[in-house]
Amino acid sequence: MSDTVYRTYMTDELGPLPFCPGCGHERLLKELNRALIQLQPDPSSVVIVSDIGCIGLADRYFITNAFHGLHGRSLTYATGLKLARPELTVIVLMGDGGCGIGGTHLLNAARRNVDITLIIANNFNYGMTGGQHSVTTPSEGVTSTTPSGNIETAMDLCAITIGAGAGWAYRGLGYDNDLAERMVEAINHAGFAMLDIWELCTAYYMPRNDLNKRALYEMIESSGMKVGLLASSDRPSFEVAYRGRAPTGSAPKELISIDPDLPHSLNSQTGIVIAGSAGQKIRSTATVFALAAILSGLKATQKDDYPITIMTGHSLAEINLSPNAIQYTAIESPDYFLVISEDGLKKTTPWIRGLPATCQLIVDSELSIPATQANVQKLPFASAAREIGRLSIGIIALASLLAKTGVFSIEALQQAISKYQSGQVAATNIQAVTKGEQLYQAG
Amino acid sequence: MGLEFIDGNQAIVRGAIAAGCCFFAGYPITPASTILQYMLDQLPRSGGVALQAEDEIAAIGFCIGASMAGRKAMTATSGPGISLYSENIGLATIGETPLVIVDVQRQGPATGSATKGAEGDIQFSRWVTSGGLPVIALSPATVAEAYELTYRAFNFAEQFRVPVFLLSSKEISLTRETVDLDEVNLPGVLERPRMEEGEIYQPHAFDRPEQIPALSDFGAAQVTRYTTSTHDKSGYLTTDPAVIQEMIDHYAAKIETAVDEICLYSEDLQTGADQLLLSYGVTSRAASVAVDHMRSAGKKVSSLVLQTLYPVPEQVIRGALAGISKVVVPEMNMGQYRLEIDRLAPDGVEVVGVNKMDTTLISPTEILNQGDLL
Ligand SMILES: Cc1ncc(C[n+]2csc(CCOP(=O)(O)OP(=O)(O)O)c2C)c(N)n1
Ligand code: SF4
Ligand SMILES: [Mg+2]
């Protein structure tokens, strides 16, 4: 900590503030300066994040760090800054315009509760772009885009942020004598804190609506919106809670084996398609099968296809195995094609019609397949799966395939299941391997 | 370390962490969601932060804030999310923010097909934001390259203070492959140039236009400034046309003068070949099968596979085109990168596209037939 005493956090190096005479933003910034003088932070430990709009011109008049980002998004940069460096004091200056375009960030910053102080310079219109209406323009308010009076309703910024979970919320006027003190409290609050400060845009909203200081007081009274400190709770901030919950220790890796040592019989790339239904564990079955192939010294790729609603419809896996590096990951001409459900059949019917005579097509006995050149074998996968477990149908089918072809050993599949699957799933699948072997021998 | 059977998204997360990534924010979208999932699990273990944002605009906003506070940051999405990133990518460009943006491409336009692959965001990545300044975009073809290029994307982002795209696709990100990541050759980890403590800080200082200004993190000893507005070297708004042009030239020069360093590719040129297959991304894998096929049929053919799409490796492409009478460019879009080849190919060179956007991979046979290569 330095011993420097800061008599001001503002600088006039860039000349006077750039606002129209009487603009409420000027008073607001001077109150923020008073609050900082009271708090005496090191300027390098404070970031003023300013939104777009006239209020967004403010940051450069402070000697603190300044971050001037996109319209409505200031709370997002503030969140990133604070999470990256929790020791920073992060203050956001945003207009009522920013609260509209960035409404979701306002709600979510309140809900998330990162320790940020939001000061809203609410002048009921877009000053910078010529006095258009905003989400806080009162009903009947005249603006350049509501020339005959606003027919929309003004948003109660405190009510919505409190509704979204804001731990600290305050509403007041730019003229309030205790504004700097309220800002100090907000900055000291360890969590999201917001101040909705009503003030005058002397260029647009004030003249169009016959507003002055007194009328502003009347406006806030007749608005039905509450003033003063409206929420104050001590829910732990996101960044504090995060550290309590996040996983620790080193990240798990999916290492397979340093020395694959089981045999295989492949000389060239071999493509296997397995077509089933969502909910049949096709993807994890294909993965454990590929892992077994890798344990046998092969390279593998697995490319899946399924609809976005993963619990319904088809599920398809294309597995390539090769003693060499695999390039193309889809399968132009499958060597083996397993169909184990109606959904899988439906999805692959056009493909099955065009399969060449070199392809071994192994289909569940209960399915009727279209005419094809492929070498067809039917095996009762589904009825076998009903005996030992519905979800093991894929393993049963792939074990039959191994028994039939000897691409790699049954033992490799058993090892992969015991190594990479656990509990009941592994136990059932080990049984399924034997079942698949038997099916092929019986068939 | 040994063999693994992982998908591209896992590899991207590993590459990011190996490069020093310690901040991630994303919004769920297939096929990028598992990056968020893996990051939530893995980043906090080394003291980093990963979180889900309320939308993509917030996700990239968090990342820009975190990056300017000195953390290496990454976000990941798919086409629909890139649209929402657009304005903030401009901010990262004008603010000279190191940032890695992963685009796991899926079939578009709009919502398109969530679970289907495509390579439809190629020119989109180049022209993603207002102003049209140069970007860096890398395109992996395999799971191992997804690891390597994510790592390199961080290095480029730091080295040049720019947002860098990693253009993955469903077909790499959600496809599993046998990999040994220890066998991937990686350069050393690079850090952004940082200013010495105690100096008066200018966030965009340079003497020569291509020079990379030293950064001072928000939270470091000296006060710093960041702005979305047209600014001078001190980060103060300016309307002086000379200063504005000087800054624009600087943003462009950073990348344009470093093309040789940024351009990653692999070429397999055959003497006497008059046909060239030029490819990138997952489609380059079908191209390589097509090349093997042609050569075993006794045809001569050269192959150029680009990992860096932007800046366009013009020298490399011109070199590969020497002596070529026909270049075939297969793409899972309607011919986006072919536009670059069209403008680089000398008169008389036939530029042929093999294109489709039906969500399926372009096959080696399609390349051979539609490219009329046999
Ligand atoms: C994405 C985007 N849309 C529109 C604008 C144009 N714009 C600049 S300032 C502003 C309104 C600002 O109003 P407010 O936040 O109330 O600030 P004030 O000027 O009243 O202080 C708008 C719409 C912009 N900069 N960015
Ligand atoms: S236009 Fe309105 S908000 Fe902007 S400076 Fe003038 S008075 Fe203030
Ligand atoms: Mg306003």
Residues with CB under 6 A from ligand 2: A 19-20, 23, 25, 54, 123, 127-128, 201-204
Instruction: Note whether B227 and A58 are within 8 A (CB).
Output: no
Residues with CB under 6 A from ligand 1: A 51-55, 71, 95-98, 121, 123, 126-129, 134, 201
Kindly list the distances between the CA atom of residue B60 and the CA atoms of A88, B21, B320, in Å, as whole numbers in the listed order: 20, 15, 37
Which atom of ligand 2 lies at the shortest distance from residue A203's CA? 7
Can you give the CATH number for the domain in which A405 is found? 3.40.920.10
Question: Is B361's Cβ below 8 Å from some Cβ in A?
Answer: yes
SS3 B43: helix
CATH fold of B264-370 = Rossmann fold (3.40.50)
A301 contacts in B (CB within 8 Å)? Answer: 175-178
Q: Kindly report the backbone phi and psi dihedral angles of residue B214, in degrees, each rounded to the nearest multiple of 5, phi listed first.
A: -70, 145
Contact state of B225 with A60 under an 8 Å Cβ cutoff: yes
H/E element, A92: strand A89-95
Q: Kindly report the backbone phi and psi dihedral angles of residue A328, in degrees, each rounded to the nearest multiple of 5, phi listed first.
A: -70, 125
Which atom of ligand 1 lies at the shortest distance from residue A56's CA? 21
The residue ranges of DSSP E strands in chain B, in sequence order, are 4-7, 23-26, 49-52, 73-77, 99-107, 113-117, 136-138, 163-169, 176-179, 225-227, 265-268, 275-280, 302-306, 308-310, 326-331, 350-355
SS3 B29: coil
Closest C-alpha to ligand 2, atom 4: A127
Which atom of ligand 1 lies at the shortest distance from residue A122's CA? 16
Closest to B99 measured CA to CA, from B139, B27, B159: B159
In this predicted structure, what is the pLDDT of residue B1? 58
Ligand nearest the Cα atom of residue A26: 2
Tell me which residue in B115, B220, B225 faces A307 most closely, judged by beta carbons: B115
Question: Is B49's Cβ below 8 Å from some Cβ in A?
Answer: yes
CA distance A140 to chain B (A): 33
Average pLDDT of the segment spanning B348-366: 97
Question: Is A11's Cβ below 8 Å from some Cβ in B?
Answer: no
Q: Cα B363–B322–B341 angle (5° rounding)? A: 50
Contact state of B363 with A332 under an 8 Å Cβ cutoff: yes
- Within-domain flag for A204: yes
**Sign (positive or negative) of CA dihedral A218, A219, A223, A228:** negative
Instruction: Note whether A223 and A154 are within 8 A (CB).
Output: yes
Q: For chain A, state the CA radius of gyration.
A: 34
Please enumerate in sequence order all residues whose Cβ is within 8 A of that of B281, keeping only pairs 6 or more positions apart, or say none.
Answer: B119, B139, B140, B141, B167, B169, B172, B332
Question: In terms of domains, do A101 and A65 share one?
Answer: yes
| Cα–Cα dist A345/A343, whole Å | 5
Helix axes A74-84, A103-112, angle to 10 degrees: 30
Residue A364: strand pairing partners: A379
Residue A302: strand pairing partners: A319, B176
A98: CA distance to ligand 1 center in Å?
A: 7
Question: Is A268's Cβ below 8 Å from some Cβ in B?
Answer: no
Of the pLDDT bands very low, low, confident and very high (cuts 50, 70, 90), residue B216 is very high
Question: In terms of domains, do A144 and A205 share one?
Answer: yes
Which atom of ligand 2 lies at the shortest distance from residue A24's CA? 8
- Within-domain flag for A17: no
Contact state of A303 with B65 under an 8 Å Cβ cutoff: no
Question: In terms of domains, do A223 and A160 share one?
Answer: yes
Instruction: Note whether A323 and A267 are within 8 A (CB).
Output: yes
A327 contacts in B (CB within 8 Å)? Answer: 285-286, 288-289
According to CATH, what is the number of the domain B4-183? 3.40.50.970
CATH topology identical between B4-183 and B264-370: yes
Please enumerate in sequence order all residues whose Cβ is within 8 A of that of A203, keeping only pairs 6 or more positions apart, or say none.
Answer: A20, A23, A127, A131
Residue of chain B nearest A59, judged by CA positions = B225
Instruction: Note whether B170 and B116 are within 8 A (CB).
Output: yes
Question: In terms of domains, do A189 and A278 share one?
Answer: no
**How do residues B74-91 score in pLDDT, each as one tens digit?**
999 999 999 999 999 999
Tell me which residue range forms the domain holding A383. 270-442
B28 contacts in A (CB within 8 Å)? Answer: none
Average pLDDT of the segment spanning B182-203: 90
- Within-domain flag for A342: yes
Residues 147-166 on A with a CB inside 8 Å of B are: none
**How do residues A148-167 score in pLDDT, each as one tens digit?**
999 999 999 999 999 999 99
Question: In terms of domains, do A281 and A228 share one?
Answer: no
Residues 388-407 on A with a CB inside 8 Å of B are: none
**How do residues B263-317 score in pLDDT, each as one tens digit?**
999 999 999 999 999 999 999 999 999 999 999 999 999 999 999 999 999 999 9
- Within-domain flag for A107: yes
Contact state of B10 with A63 under an 8 Å Cβ cutoff: no
Closest to A195 measured CA to CA, from A52, A301, A91, A307: A91
Residue A324: both structure tokens together: 């060499």
In this predicted structure, what is the pLDDT of residue A258? 65
In this predicted structure, what is the pLDDT of residue A257? 67
* Domain closes at, from A212, A245, A278: A245
| Cα–Cα dist B316/B314, whole Å | 5
Q: Flag whether pLDDT at B334 surpasses 70.
A: yes
CA distance A240 to chain B (A): 12
In this predicted structure, what is the pLDDT of residue B200? 80
Residue A379: both structure tokens together: 């095996």
Kindly list the distances between the CA atom of residue A246 and the CA atoms of A35, B13, B34, B45, in Å, as whole numbers in the listed order: 35, 17, 17, 8
Residue to substitute from B4, B171, B178, B288, interface A, most A β-carbons within 10 A = B178
Contact state of B286 with A52 under an 8 Å Cβ cutoff: no
Contact state of B175 with A303 under an 8 Å Cβ cutoff: yes
Average pLDDT of the segment spanning B24-44: 97
Q: Kindly report the backbone phi and psi dihedral angles of residue A342, in degrees, each rounded to the nearest multiple of 5, phi listed first.
A: -60, -45
Question: In terms of domains, do A223 and A311 share one?
Answer: no
Closest to B150 measured CA to CA, from B93, B105, B100: B100
A217: CA distance to ligand 1 center in Å?
A: 25
Contact state of A73 with B57 under an 8 Å Cβ cutoff: yes
The number of distinct structural domains making up chain A is 2
- Within-domain flag for A5: no
Question: Is A291's Cβ below 8 Å from some Cβ in B?
Answer: yes
ipTM above 0.85, yes or no: yes
| Cα–Cα dist A122/A200, whole Å | 8
- Within-domain flag for A260: no
| Cα–Cα dist A352/A359, whole Å | 10
| Cα–Cα dist B72/B19, whole Å | 9
Question: Is B111's Cβ below 8 Å from some Cβ in A?
Answer: no
**Sign (positive or negative) of CA dihedral B37, B41, B46, B48:** positive
Question: In terms of domains, do A359 and A296 share one?
Answer: yes
Tell me which residue in A77, A253, A330 faces B363 most closely, judged by beta carbons: A330
**How do residues A228-286 score in pLDDT, each as one tens digit?**
999 999 899 999 999 888 888 887 777 776 678 899 999 999 999 999 999 999 999 99
- The residue to mutate among A201, A208, A209, having the most atoms of ligand 2 within 8 angstroms of its beta carbon, is A201
Which atom of ligand 2 lies at the shortest distance from residue A95's CA? 3
Question: In terms of domains, do A155 and A46 share one?
Answer: yes
DSSP state of A264: B
Instruction: Note whether B265 and B316 are within 8 A (CB).
Output: yes
Kindly list the distances between the CA atom of residue A40 and the CA atoms of A8, A26, A31, A36, A119, in Å, as whole numbers in the listed order: 9, 21, 14, 6, 19
Instruction: Note whether A276 and A343 are within 8 A (CB).
Output: yes
- Within-domain flag for A9: no
Residue of chain A nearest B225, judged by CA positions = A66
DSSP state of A227: -
Closest to B47 measured CA to CA, from A80, A88, A113, A247: A247
Question: In terms of domains, do A166 and A299 share one?
Answer: no
Residue A65: both structure tokens together: 């760090």
| Cα–Cα dist A119/A32, whole Å | 9
- Within-domain flag for A403: yes
pTM of the predicted model as reported, rounded to 2 decimal places: 0.97
Question: In terms of domains, do A317 and A435 share one?
Answer: yes
Residues 168-227 on A with a CB inside 8 Å of B are: none
Where chain A has pLDDT below 50, the residues are 1
Question: In terms of domains, do A236 and A275 share one?
Answer: no
- Domain borders along chain B are 4-183, 264-370
| Cα–Cα dist B217/B200, whole Å | 14
Tell me which residue in A45, A80, A328 faces B364 most closely, judged by beta carbons: A328
Residues 73-92 on A with a CB inside 8 Å of B are: 73, 76-85, 87-88
CA distance B15 to chain A (A): 13
A425: CA distance to ligand 2 center in Å?
A: 67
Question: In terms of domains, do A348 and A214 share one?
Answer: no
